[in-house]
């Protein structure tokens, strides 16, 4: 078992990394130390109040009433004390993805959550639009998402083109449209860093 630094209590704690396992010398109950700078940044970010978040579902078949991802994300955002700035349901058309991205980035939202259109079929175009629009990318999001997804669905995780980055001061996330994928991305990656990322993007 790998020992934790003696000053762990002073610098704060993070959950164990997703790759941590018994074979690497970690137990599921252990925590890894949070750096002092990250701790300070998170404190500053949390003091900034609720984060305005926009939700975009990209689908050719769902309606506002059948959009389970909208229902899930709105519930999680309210529970976390964040603000729902907007909701859009659009078809998987490049022009619509680009239009709604520009519209929402020009509004109050500081984070935009896209779901749907990240696969490799002909109709999956969300990634292609975002890839050419994002001003800065966050490669680690897609890498971590696919790693976590691999643990649940195996090699099929490679078909996901989940991505994230910055556009006009907004943090943009794009996940697959399956409810399981949306939950995975939210719980493991987005929620823990939402305030921190929004704060960093606005600096």
176 and 117 both lie in a single domain: yes
12 and 110 both lie in a single domain: no
d(CA 133, CA 149): 25
Nearest-CA neighbor of 31 among 49, 13, 10? 13
Beta-sheet strands, E only, within the chain:
13-14, 32-33, 52-58, 83-90, 111-115, 136-137, 163-167, 170-175
67 and 156 both lie in a single domain: yes
Return the CATH number at 57: 3.40.980.10
Alpha carbon of 3 to those of 12, 20, 34: distances in Å? 16, 14, 15
Residue 156: inside a domain: yes
Contacts for 189 with CB less than 8 Å, ≥ 6 apart = 141, 144, 145, 148
Kindly state the tokens that stand for 22.
Answer: 């018994």
Q: Which domain holds residue 139?
A: 50-202
Radius of gyration of the chain (CA): 18
d(CA 72, CA 179): 8
pLDDT, tens only, 1-33 = 344 444 443 344 555 444 444 433 433 344 556
Structural domain tally of the chain?
Answer: 2
Supply the pTM of this predicted model.
0.80
121 and 79 both lie in a single domain: yes
Alpha carbon of 57 to those of 3, 146, 147: distances in Å? 44, 20, 23
Residue 36: inside a domain: yes
Q: What is the pLDDT along the chain (203 residues), one digit of tens a residue?
A: 344 444 443 344 555 444 444 433 433 344 556 677 676 666 665 656 899 999 999 999 999 999 999 999 999 999 999 999 999 999 999 999 999 999 999 999 999 999 999 999 999 999 999 999 999 999 999 999 999 999 999 999 999 999 999 999 999 999 999 999 999 999 999 999 999 999 999 88
């Amino acid at each position: 078992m790998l020992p934790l630094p003696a000053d762990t209590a002073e610098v704060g704690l993070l959950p164990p990394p997703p790759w941590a396992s018994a074979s690497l010398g970690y137990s599921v109950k252990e925590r890894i130390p949070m750096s002092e700078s990250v701790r300070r940044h998170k404190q500053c970010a949390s003091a900034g109040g609720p984060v305005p978040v926009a939700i975009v579902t990209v689908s050719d078949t769902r309606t506002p009433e059948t959009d389970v991802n909208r229902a899930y994300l709105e519930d999680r955002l309210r529970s976390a004390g964040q603000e729902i700035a907007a909701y859009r349901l659009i078809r998987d058309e490049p022009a619509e993805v680009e239009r709604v991205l520009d519209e929402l980035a020009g509004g109050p939202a500081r984070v935009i959550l896209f779901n749907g259109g990240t696969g490799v079929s002909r109709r999956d175009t969300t990634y292609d639009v975002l890839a050419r629009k994002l001003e800065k990318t966050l490669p680690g999001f897609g890498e971590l998402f696919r790693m976590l997804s691999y643990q649940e669905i195996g090699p099929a995780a490679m078909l996901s083109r989940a991505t994230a980055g910055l556009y006009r001061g907004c943090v943009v996330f794009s996940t697959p449209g399956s409810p399981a994928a949306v939950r995975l991305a939210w719980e493991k990656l987005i929620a823990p860093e939402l305030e921190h990322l929004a704060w960093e993007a606005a600096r």
